[in-house]
Chains A and B, each alone.
Chain A
Amino acid sequence: MKLLTHNMLACHIKGVKNNFPFMIEVTKVETCDADYDPEFLRHMFPRIVWPAFLQGAEQMGCRDGLPEAATEEMLQEDTFLKKFHHALLEVRLQEGALVCPETGRKFPVSKGIPNLLLTEDEC
């Protein structure tokens, strides 16, 4: 699971209010190659909730070099784009869990795939 995915998810257990972002429990993180595509990054940037992205990056260990606040103007800078690209697409949680900020329910991530199915009592 990459931070791109992490930023799109929220805990959907019935009745949970404080559902975003998931805390990331890390067992194993890997870096992988991803296509560097500025057009794609410019498309995704406005859809990213930046504080959640920073929190995830902190937990995944790739916070380095990412600004506290990011603006659309930064998308013109190659240095920013490369750092954004790296944290968004090249760092992958292989094993671990997504933890609901309200209930503490853990959604396991194994082989890079988060399991987001709810049990019968949660939906």
Chain B
Amino acid sequence: MRGAEVLRNPGRVLRNEGGSSWYMCYFLHRLLDFRVPDVESVISMLGYTLDLVQWQLPHGNEPFSPFWYLRLPNIELPRLIADRAMLTKGFMEVWGEGSTWEELQESIEACPAAIKDPWLKEDIKFKIVIETYGWKLGDENHKDCIQKLQFIPFQGSVDLKHADVKMWLILCKTSDNSGIPDTVPDRMYFGREVSCSDRSRVDAYALKKRRYIGPTSMDTEMAFIMANMGKVQKGNMVLDPYAGTGSILVAAAAFGAQVMGADIDVRVIKVGKLDDQGQQLDVYSNFQQYSLTPRLAGLLRMDVHMHSLRPGLEEAFHAIIGDPPYGVRAGGRKSMPKPGIEIRNRENHIIATAPYTLGECLRDLLDLAARLLVVGGRLVYFFPSAPETYREDEIPAHPALQLVYNVEQILTTRYSRRLIVMEKAEKYDAKKASDHHLSLGEPMLSIDRLHDQVYEQRPGKECTPSVFDKKSNDYQDSTKRFRSKLV
């Protein structure tokens, strides 16, 4: 795995060091394992090496906490990152933090004047935003909190609508709450907003308002995260080999790339379905809906296992992003050779397909990516897994591809999926690739039995219903320990 260095929390606010500054990277409490890779991928996409960047764990060194610190080499970066990252709320220049109001005041007072003074001037219109984490603040408490900040010598005027600067007071209190891991220590933070994330694209592209979707359409937020992990930007060429209803393609096109989609199933890419008014809906409709048609390079009905991309074609795509078909919802299919069969009417012939194991499917996908990606280009795909049987060494490898991230999204207690991000590290060498494949033999993953694992009935603890416990005001069940990741 490759990523920026992660430091332990030193228990005090770090500020500027040798031309780079520390910011609080305030995360959403969602998809916890995806948050750091999402931000790092955006940083790489913007052309910065991760050697210039450092993370600092949140207070208490609890990675689930949303209050990470990030050291960035450029003052433009917090704004550029917030614009693209899907799992941040924003970036803040922290003036002080503490576990009590006294500690907070002490810390803010110790913050160098050079940081504070420009924002305390008379002509600065400001606004204080109070954020709570793990609890809710009543109106009266709101006033109390502002009162407690009276010691900060703001000379300017408060302007809620047109503030020049937004100050954030973040109050984290999880000790008397359930649902959020109480390992996140109570803490208060105060600082200046440097950038605020724009999550409006999650609504603008919401699946529920999309004209054409199917049961396996990739969730909008996740499609954008996948495009971020693929470092997709304007000028790129992006391929989704399992395009389906085109959800991932839409996200990549929204980020400015030209996109190409393939699918073995004609129903999803061509036939589509009819809407209430009897109008034909298909992948094209989705691109029209968002005015992205000018970035749809092409759709193909094609089998990745027996594809028709010309043999000499290499390094054509910057990113290959897809959700491979696997057993639980829509099993994979591939072309089936049947020598000697007589086909009378080629036009009406329905082509037979054979089941396609995930092991085989991923071997094909990795080899395709190793060949078609530019060096430095990324392959991003989901790997289904069952936490009980997952083995890290089952994540497929390829001599030309380097694993960058492997992050888990827990779906149920027995079933999860992992987002795998690989980067092409060297030019494709067909001999090396085929030697590698020969050395491994027939690919079969334990996950190819996934369907059985997910649906098989097992007696015992999983079947006992949750019991509501009045005393703790919470459900007493075995899933609770997973809840912090089930967001």
A positions within 8 Å CB-CB of B = 1-2, 4-5, 7-12, 14, 19-20, 32-35, 37, 39-40, 43-44, 47, 49, 89, 108, 110-121, 123
Contacts and interface: CB of A to CB of B under 8 A. Distances in A.
Nearest to A46: B315
B343 interface: yes
Interface of B: 234-237, 256, 258, 260, 264, 266, 269-270, 282, 284, 293-295, 297-303, 306-316, 318, 335-343, 346-347, 349, 351-352
Contacts of A2: 297-298
A10 B340 CA distance: 24
Nearest to A42: B235
A35 B258 contact: yes
26 contacts: A2-B297, A4-B298, A5-B300, A8-B313, A10-B309, A10-B310, A10-B311, A12-B306, A33-B294, A35-B258, A35-B294, A35-B295, A40-B235, A43-B235, A47-B316, A89-B258, A89-B297, A113-B300, A117-B302, A117-B303, A118-B335, A119-B349, A120-B352, A121-B338, A121-B340, A121-B342
B270 A111 contact: yes
**Residue from B297, B314, B318 having most chain A Cβ neighbours under 10 A:** B297
B298 A43 contact: no
A9 B343 contact: no
Contacts of A39: 234-235
Contacts of B284: 111-112
**Residue from A1, A2, A33, A121 having most chain B Cβ neighbours under 10 A:** A121
Given A116-B301, A119-B349, A43 B237 contact: yes
Nearest to A3: B298
B175 to A, nearest CB: 52
Contacts of B258: 34-35, 37, 40, 89
Contacts, number: 118
A58 B419 CA distance: 44
Contacts of A32: 293-294
Interface of B is mostly: loop
A12 B338 CA distance: 16
Contacts of A111: 270, 282, 284
B90 to A, nearest CB: 30
Contacts of B282: 111
A123 B293 contact: no
Given A10-B311, A37-B234, 19 more contacts: A5-B297, A8-B309, A10-B309, A12-B306, A34-B297, A35-B258, A37-B235, A40-B236, A43-B318, A47-B316, A108-B347, A111-B282, A113-B270, A113-B300, A114-B301, A118-B335, A119-B346, A120-B351, A121-B343
A1 B260 CA distance: 11
A8 B316 CA distance: 9
B120 to A, nearest CB: 44
Contact of B306 (A40, A47, A115, A118): A118
Contact of B301 (A10, A34, A115): A115
B266 A115 contact: yes
A67 to B, nearest CB: 22
B129 to A, nearest CB: 38
Contacts of B312: 49
A117 B267 CA distance: 14
A44 B258 CA distance: 11
Contact of B300 (A11, A110, A114): A114
B168 to A, nearest CB: 37
Nearest to A32: B293
A4 B260 CA distance: 10
A113 B306 contact: no
A112 B284 CA distance: 10
B255 to A, nearest CB: 12
B299 A113 contact: yes
Contact of A44 (B293, B300, B316): B316
A119 B351 contact: yes
Contacts of B294: 32-35
A43 B352 CA distance: 38
B337 A120 contact: yes
